[in-house]
């Protein structure tokens, strides 16, 4: 039987795809803890070598780029967070944790959160559903074994979300996801018309360092955006969240943001946010737990 083209689909087909995972009620609280006007969620996707491993691991050069994230990136990030006395969330592929277990233990020991980020940074929609489920469950067990703490949230690798991802997250008992785009502020996830009680802490490519600084020498992918422009974009996103009393969530990568000509972006952004005087820096888990409690979920 010939597969129907999208323009040939009956309503039940296109409507079913749309309603698989939807944004439910907005969960932005009336007030943040301590009377803060805005919540700031700094996050780091600790991919390291898994970016290259998931594609076959053929480039020693790109594997070494991943190692930079461990050798230079993570120490720089953790030192800055300690100096500023703020907490952040680190989303870690299980293979990264197996390569660098001491790094993950240090993250937890210093009061930060570790969240799920796949097994080897695989693309969920390219993995059969039963294997995706097994990989997520194995990843949760691996991170718990290494760190002693079981993750309560997930960011899917490359923000790739399959038709079964939410069901697996619910099976794992997670309280939040941070992979989808339907709002600026936290919202409840709806699965096939059913409110799930799970919080979505939405992401956006414009609040991600990789889209501005990634490089592939064999393609036309180059870091064309200067650091000053990236800082301006991030700052405007924060200022908008502050003006609206919402959430500012920033996604970064240890092998991308921490170069000497770029790290000032994050340092200056933290100083700018702190200068407001009424901003709550928190982990994703803390923010998800707070908005769930405020909403009675």
Beta bridge partners of 113: 89
Task: Report whether pLDDT(220) > 90.
Answer: no
Please give the share of the chain, as a percent, with pLDDT higher than 70. Answer: 100
The stretch 4-19 carries a mean pLDDT of 95
Q: Which two tokens stand for residue 51?
A: 């970016």
Helix then strand then coil, in percent of the chain rounded to 5, is 45, 15, 35
pLDDT given at position 60:
92
Tens of pLDDT, residues 80-118: 999 999 999 999 999 999 999 999 999 999 999 999 999
Q: Which two tokens stand for residue 24?
A: 């439910």
pLDDT given at position 67:
96
pLDDT given at position 197:
97
CA distance 228 to 197: 39
Tens of pLDDT, residues 263-290: 999 999 999 999 999 999 999 999 999 9
pLDDT given at position 215:
81
Residue whose C-alpha is closest to residue 249's, from 184, 156, 170, 159: 184
CA distance 179 to 156: 6
CA distance 247 to 240: 9
CA distance 121 to 144: 18
Under the banding of pLDDT at 50, 70 and 90, the label for residue 221 is confident
pLDDT given at position 218:
78
Taking each helix axis as running N to C, give the angle between helix 101-109 and helix 129-147, from 0 to 180 degrees, rounded to the nearest 10. 70
SS3 279: strand
Under the banding of pLDDT at 50, 70 and 90, the label for residue 1 is low
Most confident of 46-60, 87-101, 202-216: 87-101
Chain mean pLDDT for the chain: 96
Residue whose C-alpha is closest to residue 93's, from 282, 216, 254, 211: 254
Distance of CA 145 to the CA centre of its chain: 22
SS3 280: strand
DSSP state of 149: -
Whether 143 contacts 91, CB under 8 Å: no
């Amino acid at each position: 039987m010939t597969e129907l083209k999208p323009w040939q689909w009956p309503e039940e087909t296109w409507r079913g795809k749309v309603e698989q995972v939807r944004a439910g009620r907005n969960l932005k609280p009336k007030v943040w803890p301590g009377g803060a006007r805005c919540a700031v969620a700094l996050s780091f996707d600790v991919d390291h070598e898994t970016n290259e491993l998931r594609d076959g691991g053929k480039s020693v050069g790109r594997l070494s780029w991943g190692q930079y994230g461990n050798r230079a990136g993570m120490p720089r990030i953790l030192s800055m967070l300690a100096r500023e006395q703020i907490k952040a969330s680190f989303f870690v592929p299980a293979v990264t944790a197996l390569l660098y277990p001491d790094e993950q233990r240090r993250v937890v020991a210093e009061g930060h959160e570790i969240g799920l980020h796949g097994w080897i940074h695989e693309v969920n929609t390219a993995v059969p559903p039963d294997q995706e489920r097994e990989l997520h469950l194995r990843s949760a067990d691996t991170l718990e074994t290494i760190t002693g703490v079981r993750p309560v949230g997930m960011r899917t690798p490359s923000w790739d979300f399959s038709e079964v991802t939410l069901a697996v997250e619910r099976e794992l008992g997670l309280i939040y996801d941070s992979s989808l785009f339907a709002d600026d502020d936290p919202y409840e996830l709806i699965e096939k018309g059913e409110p799930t009680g799970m919080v979505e802490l939405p992401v956006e490519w414009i609040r991600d360092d990789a889209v501005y600084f990634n490089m592939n020498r064999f393609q036309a992918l180059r870091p064309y955006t200067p650091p000053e422009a990236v800082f301006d974009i991030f700052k405007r996103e924060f200022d908008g969240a502050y003006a609206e009393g919402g959430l500012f969530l920033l996604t970064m990568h240890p092998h991308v943001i921490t170069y000497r000509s770029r790290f000032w972006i994050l340092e200056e952004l933290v100083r700018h946010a702190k200068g407001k005087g009424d901003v709550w820096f928190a982990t994703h888990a803390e923010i998800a737990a707070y908005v769930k409690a405020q909403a009675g979920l």
